[in-house]
A and B are shown apart, each in its own frame.
Chain A
């Protein structure tokens, strides 16, 4: 019985981790094979081995740029999370505030960040402009998800708190905040990825005017020099960063919700 369960668990781990890695490696092998077989020059399409070699060779330059981009992403994400939750709490206090503030948040969300970035670069220092761009895209999903969570408290539990004459503060601490946690965490997962996108977009806009030291700037710079392997190497680092951010936030969400929320339990079962 126990061996059966362990075997089943191993099968699930293979399905969740092994299968995507196998497909990824097969794709890389196919790519490598095609490039070598057709003798495609690296300035058209570099082979994965060349990209890896570039990563190793340019590691100092690329990793220092990665740290710049990740630093901005993290800073913007933290500010977006704090402001998103704060505004969601404010909006939850009154319908009037919701009506007054939400349209502004939505306007910011629906205006493409690539269109705002050049303007921000005029008004702000390049570093700050990148930070604000990353903040703007990460902020809205955190705000809207947290707002939704705060508003969607189970009716029975609401009655229970009313029955015991709970104060608004007690309702917030013991009912609304824990109820909103799953949606807040979903907002964080989306916001984390978007903060990176926002930072990259702003860096691209800033990079075109010859400023900045982030990864996107390295892509623009390598593009000017037709250094295609380095472009790919920088792109690979951005993708890996995005995956790492998503993975870390998904793990945080699973850790906090395990044992009670359906989203975390479904993964366990």
Chain B
């Protein structure tokens, strides 16, 4: 089985959330999404790849409930999944006045947990991302990569079944980005959450995903869908393999098409 083969088990996995004929038009008249369909399958790492302005972030915001669709419907397999979503934003979005611990504690605090009750879970989340020794540090003392780790710990602390990530590593240097990609894969193996990842980097998409959807600027229409065998080990060998370069080539071609479609 090659990496480009459609993995049957993946395809038949039940959908955690389904978007049906979803449209999103902003008050200014800008159409971000039109007649958009998506099934997020349990356990997958789905990457939405596309040029800026193609509506990929809007998809995440709609799933998270931070925006409402102007057409269509969003159906959840179970309401408890909907009520416990992890979201990692483009910026780390940390409270600048609160320590690393308090930032990660925030979702639990908002859920009504006391500091004492929440402490083991916060410490566990910090340990997952390698920030256990920095729990008392203020965000300004952290590097960009550490801030993003803190944001990931915060997204993990509620033990969500679904984690949404909106270009989380876009602002980081390549070395940090590679490291965080590996850490994310390790976390995924350990925790088994479903991840929807947004990026405009083909390489990042090919490395992290089990499925890539390339979106165009025309209302988010899907240009290509690439399935990647989840069984393939993601390591340096994979980065230099033919499978990886084939996926990157196919992703790049689709991305080029998406950009060409967008320019009148």
Contact = CB atoms under 8 A, between A and B. Distances in A.
Do the two chains belong together in a single complex? Answer: yes
Interface of A: 154, 156-157, 159-166, 170, 174-175, 178, 181, 259-261, 265
Contacts of B139: 260
B interface, over-half SS: loop
Q: How large is the interface on B (under 10, 10 to 19, 20 to 34, 35 or more residues)?
A: 20 to 34
B134 interface: no
Contacts, number: 52
Contacts of B66: 159, 162-163
23 contacts: A154-B93, A156-B89, A156-B90, A157-B93, A157-B95, A159-B87, A159-B89, A159-B93, A160-B93, A161-B110, A163-B64, A164-B106, A165-B110, A174-B95, A174-B106, A174-B110, A178-B95, A178-B97, A181-B97, A260-B97, A260-B138, A261-B96, A265-B140
Interface in B87-120: 87, 89-91, 93, 95-97, 106-107, 109-111
Given A159-B66, A163-B66, A163-B87, A170 B110 contact: yes
A170 B97 CA distance: 16
Contacts of A181: 97
Interface in B52-80: 61, 64-66
B105 to A, nearest CB: 11
B93 A259 contact: no
Given A159-B66, A261-B96, A166 B89 contact: no
A259 B136 CA distance: 12
A165 B91 CA distance: 20
A42 B16 CA distance: 88
A178 B138 CA distance: 15
A69 to B, nearest CB: 36
Contacts of B83: 165
B110 A259 contact: no
B21 interface: no
B110 A166 contact: yes
Contacts of B140: 259-260, 265
Interface of B: 61, 64-66, 83, 85, 87, 89-91, 93, 95-97, 106-107, 109-111, 138-140, 158
A149 to B, nearest CB: 13
Nearest to A259: B138
A178 B106 CA distance: 14
**Residue in B64, B65, B85, B107 with the greatest tally of chain A CB atoms within 10 Å:** B107
Nearest to A178: B97
A165 B112 CA distance: 11
Contacts of B109: 174
**Residue in A162, A163, A170 with the greatest tally of chain B CB atoms within 10 Å:** A163
Nearest 8 A-B pairs (CB), nearest first?
A156-B93, A260-B96, A164-B110, A260-B97, A166-B110, A164-B107, A178-B97, A163-B87
Contacts of B91: 156
Contacts of A159: 61, 66, 87, 89, 93
B138 A160 contact: no
Contacts of A178: 95, 97
Contacts of B138: 259-260
A161 to B, nearest CB: 7
**Residue in B61, B64, B85, B95 with the greatest tally of chain A CB atoms within 10 Å:** B95
Nearest to B66: A159
Contact of B111 (A154, A164, A174): A164
A157 B110 CA distance: 13
Contacts of A261: 96-97
A181 B61 CA distance: 29
A265 B141 CA distance: 12
A173 to B, nearest CB: 10
A162 B138 CA distance: 23
Contacts of A161: 110
A160 B87 contact: yes
A159 B97 CA distance: 18
A194 B199 CA distance: 52
Nearest to A167: B110
Nearest to A175: B95
A165 B80 CA distance: 13
Nearest to B89: A156
Nearest to B91: A156
A253 to B, nearest CB: 14
Contacts of B96: 260-261
Nearest to A156: B93
Nearest to B61: A159
A187 to B, nearest CB: 18
Contacts of A164: 106-107, 110-111, 158
Nearest to A162: B66
Given A156-B90, A157-B93, 18 more contacts: A156-B89, A157-B95, A159-B61, A159-B87, A160-B87, A160-B89, A160-B93, A163-B87, A164-B111, A165-B110, A170-B110, A174-B95, A174-B109, A175-B95, A259-B140, A260-B97, A260-B139, A261-B96
